[in-house]
Structures are given as C-alpha cells and as structure tokens.
Amino acid sequence: MANDEKKHETTETNEIQNESSAIQTPDQKEKPKAKEPEVIDTLTMQSEVAGSELEEDETPDPALAVALDQNMNYIIPEKGQLLKGKIISINEENALVDCGAKAEAILATKELDGHKEGDEIEGMVVGVDPLTISIKLEQNNKNHSQLRNAFDAGISVTGKITREIKGGFDVDVSGVRAFLPISHLDVSFIKETAPFIGQVCDFKIMEFAENGKQFIVSRAEILKKELGKKLESFWDTIKAGEIRDGVVRSFQSFGAFIDLGGIEGLLHISELSNDYTTHPSDMLKIGEKVKVSILSVDKDKNRISLSMKDLAPDPWEKYSAELVIGNSFKGTVVRKADFGLFVQLAPGIDGLLHVSQIKSNTKLGDADYAIGKTLTGWIRSLDIKNRRVGLTLHEMPSDDPWQNISEKFQVGSIIEGTIEESTQYGVFVELMPGLTGLMPLSELKKIGYKDMSTEFKAQDAVTVKITAIDEKRQRISLLPNEIPEHIVPEAKKPSKKKPHGKKREKPAEPQNGSEQNGGITAFGELLAAALNNSDDQ
C-alpha cells in the first residue's frame, strides 16, 4: 500500500515537471528572434559540434575552420574606404562584389568597363546601407594624384586624342579629360587634323590645377625634345642626292611633309610626280610609306627639299621621239604665267604656248585657257637638248615656208603681218604660218620707238616693209611701213670734239736779212742797237 502511494507521488511529480518543460519551451523558441542571441547560440553550437568531433577525431576539418574564421572576421566598411574584392555576379543594372563584409557590395554594371565574373577589382565605398562601391570614383581620385605628381616632376603622360573642339582637341589621359591646344599638336602647322583623331600619343602636362579642372597638355613639346636629340646626328649624315625612306605626315596645298625619322622634309607638289596633280592628297595618303630623293639640305634654316619625281623614269627618253615640229598636239593646261601657258603634252613634258600663239581675238584670262582645260594645236619649235617645246594654236604650214622664198617675198615688199612678241632683240612678226620676221630693236630706236611692249602688242596686225632676206640663215629683217606722228626720230647731235688752241705763228726769219730793215742781218741789228745805247750815255 505504501509502495503504491510512493509510486503515485513519483508519477505526479514527473507530470508536473513535464508540464513545466512544456510551458518553458515557447519562451526558449522566441529568444532566437533577437539577432545577437541567434549569432551567439549558433557559434556556441558550432563550437560544441567541433568539440565533439575533436573528441572522436583529433584532426580538424579545414573547410569548417575557414568558415568559422570568416564568420568571426567580418569587416565593417566606412564611407570613402577602399575595398578589394571579387565579382561574383553581374546583371543589367548591378554587379555583386565579395569584399569581405557581411553583405556583398553593389557596383553599377556600367562601371565594369570590361570586367567580368571572377575578376579582382578595387573600389571606393560610396554608401554603407546598402554597401555600395564605385570603381571610377576611386580611379579618378587616384589618377588626379598621379597626374599631379607627373606634372610636378615634369614626367610625360600617354593619352588618346578623342575629338576636335574649338581651339584644339579633347584628350583622354587615364580617364581624365585634358585640353590640347591646336598650336601644341605638332612642331609645325597642321592643316589636316582629322587623321590625328583616335591616335594615342605622349604628352607633356603644361598645366594641372583645381584638381584636374584646368588640365592642359602639349604634344609639340614632346616632339621638340625628341627632335633636339635626333638633330644632333641627323644633319651630319644626310646629304643631297641620297634616297631615303619616309612617312607622309601632313598635307599643304603646295606639297606634303615627309617624316624622315624624326625630321620632316618638304615634298613640293611639283616634285611629286611627272604627271599633273592639283593637290598632294590626290596621290598620297597620311601614314603612307614612300621613297624620296634628297634635293637639298639647309641646316641653318632646318629645311630639306625632297622629290619623288627624280626617282621616276626620264619622260624625255620615252616621248622625245614623238615630238616633231609641225605635228599636232593635245594637252592639258597645267600652269599660267603673264607670258603664256604651260601645257602638259605627256607626263613630265610641258610645252610653252606663248601669249602670241593663242587664237586671235582671245586673251589668256579667257575660260578656254583655264588650268585643267584641254587644248589642241601644233608643235612650233623643239629643243631636245634644253628640253623645251614651243607650241602654237595658229595653223602650221604643210610644207617648208622657206622653199622658194624669193618668189614669195622681195626686199622692199610691203606686207601685212601679226605681231608675235616683243623681246630684247626686237619685235617678231608672223608673215605667214611658220614664217616670222624681226624688226630689230636697234633700228626701231633709231626711228624713235622707246617702249616696244606698248607700241607693239601681241596679236595686233601691223604693216611692215622687208629690208633684208637671208635665205642661208633663214632670217627676214623688217621695219614698220608707217610711223605714227608721236614717234619722233632721234636728232643727230653735233659731235663734241675738243677745241684746239690757236697755234702761234712764228715770224719767218729772212734768209739774207730783214726786208723791213733794208736787208740788215740780225747780227747787224744787234750791233746798231748797242752803238745807239753807247751814244746816249
């Protein structure tokens, strides 16, 4: 009986304890809701698990040890702090970076600039809730500091010319925008600047102030420094007549500048080719490699004249056989001068069309004679030795005009002609196609002519008189048939002979005494005078 009562009491006691445990359990389940207790309990449980495992196996699990170490060494980032981390994921807007904090850092995708998942990066904390970093902000601060140091130390920097703006160019130097004045683009004036856009060059920092807001660079200063070093040895080695390799650097209307290895020479447009061209860009390109001949070197003026035409075959050897007096030609006007036109007959061969040989009633300024126009005519004269070709638009005779010349013209004949030109020898007059006579300058001056170019204009008609014909030398001398009233012949001036003084006439001495003294000799006269003097005394 007693035993039954004790057993009943024990049973009641256990039920009460169980009810107590049931009542406390909800309180214990609510406690993990607080953040700190949850972390503590978790760490305690992990320690207990690790301890129990160590009892069974004394060798710890490396992975578990790392995980525990990481959990206990979270960093607490602050704004402005630099963080290094690894990109773990990327979407359209943001990328997540594991940088050792409790939460991954957020980085704008547009700042990745080519970075991908798994790449190590460094950024600056710009926000802590949520944790946000920026690469470019960190890079800009770092670059500004580096650029300032480069400026203070006079160290050159590398940049990319991105675009042309008013007065110069924008240059990207390590992500920082700099200004390149157009005057500092090169050591010489550059007209064609478009080829420089996109080029990566070295620059000298001319000014860096206000944390990069006033950032000015110069390419010319770098080139000057390099040029000074190369000039020392360059001028001692280069000589006229050499053939060198070069690179086309820039264009001007008058030619191209060729880089010979740090020193630029001028390839004038006239030395570009035997063929006609209006601009060097028609035949060359910026950056093109060329071979040039050194025409001249002027060290004092830093000038080098180049030629590509010299390296081409001699056009006179190829085309001279086709040049025959009287043959027709077809060519292009390539140059103009006061005295006529230069017409290209073949690449490298130009003929002179004198103003006297253009068509009647036309002028050099007419549109038909503009540069680039095509002309047809005849070869009037040819000098292979001196490489000269005379052209005409006047009809050339089919046969030799000097044949039977005595039947066509006689001395004293008065004929009509056309003035060709006035020269130092006189005035040339065309009497018929292919036959020209000369009014000598000396004879015209005797008549009274003074200004020949005014009195005798090319293409004017004139009436002349033949004064001489030399068939052997094929020359005809002429004079104007009529002399204008304002032309006054030079009057003959009296000869300026030096007057001679009058000669004193010596009295003739009589041979046998003076007739005036009655035949007395000179000695007698002296004797008589002496006697007279003695009587007076």
* pLDDT attached to residue 96: 92
Q: Is cis: bond before 32, omega within 30 of 0?
A: no
Enter the DSSP assignment of 223.
H
Structural element, H or E, at residue 374: strand 374-383
* pLDDT attached to residue 459: 79
* pLDDT attached to residue 218: 93
**How far apart, in whole angstroms, are the C-alpha atoms of residue 292 and residue 310?**
8
**How far apart, in whole angstroms, are the C-alpha atoms of residue 243 and residue 403?**
53
Local confidence pLDDT in tens for the 537 residues of the chain: 444 544 444 444 444 444 444 444 444 444 444 444 343 343 444 444 444 444 444 555 665 555 555 555 677 888 767 788 999 999 988 899 998 888 888 988 877 877 888 888 888 787 888 888 877 655 666 677 777 777 887 878 888 899 999 989 999 887 788 899 999 998 877 878 888 999 888 898 898 886 667 889 999 988 888 777 777 777 778 888 888 888 998 888 889 898 887 678 899 988 888 777 788 888 888 888 999 999 988 878 878 899 988 888 888 887 878 888 878 889 999 888 888 999 988 888 889 998 888 887 788 888 889 988 999 888 888 888 888 898 988 877 667 778 888 888 889 989 998 888 888 889 999 888 778 899 999 888 888 888 888 888 887 889 999 999 988 888 899 999 888 888 887 665 455 555 555 555 555 444 444 444 444 555 455 545 555 554 554
Q: What is the dihedral of CA 268, 272, 278, 279, to 10 degrees?
A: -70
CB atoms within 10 A of CB 488: 10
- Block residue for tokens 């600039």: 113
* pLDDT attached to residue 533: 53
**How far apart, in whole angstroms, are the C-alpha atoms of residue 395 and residue 328?**
10
Q: What is the pTM of this model?
A: 0.38
Enter the DSSP assignment of 101.
B
Topology of domain 405-480 in CATH is: OB fold (Dihydrolipoamide Acetyltransferase, E2P) (2.40.50)
* pLDDT attached to residue 478: 92
Mention the CATH class of domain 238-311: mainly beta
Residues contacting residue 180 through CB under 8 Å, at least 6 positions apart: 161, 168, 169, 170, 171, 203, 216, 217, 218, 219
Backbone angles phi, psi at 96, to 5 degrees: -100, 135
**How far apart, in whole angstroms, are the C-alpha atoms of residue 256 and residue 273?**
12
CA 444 to chain CA centroid, nearest Å: 52
* pLDDT attached to residue 525: 58
One DSSP character per residue, 463-531 reads EEEEEEEETTTTEEEEEESS--TT--PPPPPPP-PPPPPPPPPPPPPPTTS-TTTTT--HHHHHHHHHH
* pLDDT attached to residue 472: 85
* pLDDT attached to residue 489: 77
Among 3.40.50.970, 2.40.50.140, 2.40.30.110, 3.30.70.890, name the CATH number for the domain at 315-392. Answer: 2.40.50.140
